[in-house]
Chains A and B, each alone.
Chain A
Amino acid sequence: MVAAGAVAPASSALAGPTLDKIKAAGSFSCGVPTGIPGFAQPDSAGKYAGFDIDVCRALSAAIFGDPEKVKYVPLTAQQRFTALQSGEVDILSNNTTWTLTRDTDLGLNFGPVVFYDGQGFMVPKKLNVKSAKELNGATICVAPGTTTELNLADYFRANKMEYKPVVIEKVDEIFAAFFAGRCDVMTGDGSALGAQRIGRASNPDDYVVLPERISKEPLAPVVRHGDDQWHDIVDWAVYALMQGEESGITQANLDDMLKSDDPGIKRMLGVTPGMGKALGLEENWAYNEIKAVGNYGEIFERNLGTGSPLKFDRGLNALWTKGGLIYAMPIR
């Protein structure tokens, strides 16, 4: 175990070795958040569940035909990039915003955006704040090592306002501090604020998420530079989930869809072979994914939407055909 871990970083930089390594090990490790309701949270049995988790489960199903071949490594915002760079994890599914410097300086590659988000502010209702423009002089809780920390500084500079940041690395701690009243304002991705308000506040109605979104936060899975094949697999594993929704393939009708006459569906589900080989996977890779976790829409509704306590709207995360931004590249 220890020896394998130590050798991994050295070998991971060669062309296409990640898949070989993963297949030899029989599992891969996935860096996930330490606890955001709906995205990644251990359930009562200690098993991780959530939107970020399902992305990894889908990937596992595409590679092994089994969604359980994943080792989850909870990582804070500050730890995650080093963990990926050093080979401690093979992929981050960690609510990570895609930015230029992360893509270049940090030596990372981003997969397709799985959640379009924007930074917001949450305040206690009793403060009577209606807009982010009224936050001059506020004490603001923010997780360090995030884009939100930088956007916060930008926003207050642009609007010539002052603030006092309180930064704590652990997501649990920073939200606990906010709900205990250490800060006037909590800032973060709108989705995370909404999720924590429902999942953690003793009385969610005492808090309100302000309407402004001060940034674009495209959240995407991340892999490291130097292994294009692995990057491709992550890309297409995610696109298959989105295409599944677009083509109307669900967990329930999956087996019926195998009999479909649509050449696109036949290609994707491996009835017409070729796609799997191109990726270095089994031909039924996409079939296995949807069988394990459902299509993108099903994953969203189960963890964040109508099937969850969070009740998020699809909004930007609806299919492009329904006015959203979710758009799979053609699987052919």
Chain B
Amino acid sequence: MTTGEASLGITPSRPAPWRDAKIRGIAYQVIFVAAVVGFIAFIVHNTLGNIGRQNIATGFGFLHREAGFGIGESLIAYSPADTYARAFLVGLTNTLHVAALGIVFATILGTVMGLARLSSNWLVAKLARVYVETFRNIPLALQLFFWWGLLNKMAPGPREAWQILPDVFVSNRGIIYPVPQANPAYGWVAAALCIGVVVAIGFGRWAKQRQAATGQQYPTGWIALALVIGLPGVVFLGFGAPLALDVPVLKGFNFSGGDVMSPEFAALLMGLVIYTGTFIAEIVRAGILAVSWGQSEAAMALGLRSGQRMRLVVLPQALRVIVPPMTSQYLSLTKDSSLAVIIGFPDLVSVANTTMNQTGQAIEGIAMIMAVYLFISLAISLAMNLYNRAVALVER
């Protein structure tokens, strides 16, 4: 361009700086960044100034002090003599616990319901539709109150607990169930299960390559099943099938022995699973409908059976539609678990609220909550993005 202009002997006069789009663009950006930085600096300065004038303690030193309050349920050992940091960790593990179980069950429920909505059976399809339309249109907080109230008010006290299965009781203290007594055999069974899974995956890969190279097929499914279930089973029997149970017994105020799922945890899990399940159902349905019928017809023309058609042709294409919105649902579920506060499940937010109240350090507490949720969300995002990359359509 320059050469062309030079050859014509015309030197274009540079526009005034405030008329130059490029310079103006840079100036706008500088002003914008300065404004944002200035605003943040003002807020921080103002906050620190006010806190200083009111003599409110600052900093994270409080984390090492004794918490002094009890927490109702915990996956890790905790007593009121532990520090605030430990209490915070208890809240975090409780949040992760409910979120992890919630994601697994919501995915199962949502997938089943999503497939049910596509069912050719009129009743099944309509029931699934009623489920989706009902539960996704009622606010989650109300659903949590509903489940919690149901468990609290309907269930009897521990001394009149309902026995729904041998040694499984339902009372307003929660669902009490027996657990196997600790035995070294279980460690070995778990190890055998891991080995079984790894070998099954390796075998599957080998069989696939083999099929690609020679066309020879193996009954991969059956062999994998034998490895995953059979191997731990043999180990279990090898140890003499130890099945001693820690059975709950009514003692004093409550049951002792066995394990308890508190009404708060049960209500929270139920609420999260049923609510998020509706959205997942719609995502699964949309994903499957997004694969055009021509793909199935083509698969049929190749002579694939219906299971193979779903597994080899429809699902791989549906997944690339399903995975990104599914990530959002997992993130929502994790963040929604903070509604635990309203029904009294000691999740991260609940513990942090109490901590803030005892120490008065609200800004630190909120900052920690925000950092933790951000970290959890980014971790889920990262995992799902990696998975998405694995299932994304490879264009050739």
For A154, what are the chain B residues with a Cβ–Cβ distance below 8 Å?
Answer: 68, 80
Binary contact track A156-182/B, C-beta < 8 Å → 1, others 0: 110000011111111001100100111
Shortest distance from the beta carbon of A231 to any chain B beta carbon, whole Å: 12
Of A21-29, A137-145, A288-296, the one touching chain B:
A137-145
- In the complex, A157→B79 CA distance in Å? 9
B294 at the interface (CB under 8 A from A): no
A105 at the interface (CB under 8 A from B): yes
In the complex with contacts A168-B344, A182-B152, A226-B54, A81-B253 CB distance below 8 A: no
A329 at the interface (CB under 8 A from B): no
For A82, what are the chain B residues with a Cβ–Cβ distance below 8 Å?
Answer: 356, 362
Binary contact track B80-100/A, C-beta < 8 Å → 1, others 0: 110000000000000000000
Is there contact, CB below 8 Å, between A169 and B341?
A: yes
Is there contact, CB below 8 Å, between B354 and A9?
A: no
For B80, what are the chain A residues with a Cβ–Cβ distance below 8 Å?
Answer: 150, 153-154, 157
For A105, what are the chain B residues with a Cβ–Cβ distance below 8 Å?
Answer: 56-57, 359-361
Is there contact, CB below 8 Å, between A137 and B254?
A: yes
For A220, what are the chain B residues with a Cβ–Cβ distance below 8 Å?
Answer: none
For B49, what are the chain A residues with a Cβ–Cβ distance below 8 Å?
Answer: 13
- In the complex, A127→B343 CA distance in Å? 25
For A139, what are the chain B residues with a Cβ–Cβ distance below 8 Å?
Answer: 173, 253-254
- In the complex, A165→B69 CA distance in Å? 9
Is there contact, CB below 8 Å, between B362 and A136?
A: no
Query: Size of chain A's interface in residues, with CB distance under 8 A?
Result: 47
B308 at the interface (CB under 8 A from A): no
Shortest distance from the beta carbon of A233 to any chain B beta carbon, whole Å: 18
Binary contact track B228-255/A, C-beta < 8 Å → 1, others 0: 0000000000000000000000011110
- In the complex, A149→B54 CA distance in Å? 26
For B29, what are the chain A residues with a Cβ–Cβ distance below 8 Å?
Answer: none
Is there contact, CB below 8 Å, between B360 and A144?
A: no
A210 at the interface (CB under 8 A from B): no
B53 at the interface (CB under 8 A from A): yes
B47's closest neighbor in chain A, by CB? A9
Task: Name A's interface SS.
Answer: mixed
- In the complex, A224→B53 CA distance in Å? 10
Is there contact, CB below 8 Å, between A10 and B360?
A: no
In the complex with contacts A136-B252, A139-B173, A144-B343 CB distance below 8 A: no
Is there contact, CB below 8 Å, between B254 and A85?
A: no
Shortest distance from the beta carbon of A107 to any chain B beta carbon, whole Å: 4
A129's closest neighbor in chain B, by CB? B253
Is there contact, CB below 8 Å, between A180 and B153?
A: yes
Q: Which listed residue (A78, A81, A181) contacts B157, Cβ 8 A?
A: A181
B180 at the interface (CB under 8 A from A): no
- In the complex, A200→B51 CA distance in Å? 40
Binary contact track B337-378/A, C-beta < 8 Å → 1, others 0: 000011110100010011011111110000000000000000
Residue pairs across A and B with Cβ atoms less than 8 A apart, 19 shown, are A13-B53, A78-B354, A78-B356, A85-B56, A101-B358, A101-B359, A102-B360, A105-B359, A105-B360, A144-B69, A144-B350, A150-B80, A164-B70, A169-B344, A174-B344, A181-B157, A181-B172, A225-B53, A225-B55
Footprint of A on B, CB under 8 Å?
46, 49-51, 53-57, 68-73, 79-81, 152-153, 156-157, 172-173, 251-254, 256, 263-264, 341-344, 346, 350, 353-354, 356-362
Extra A-B contacts (10), CB below 8 Å, given A101-B358, A226-B54: A10-B46, A106-B359, A107-B57, A136-B252, A149-B354, A153-B69, A167-B72, A167-B350, A169-B353, A225-B55
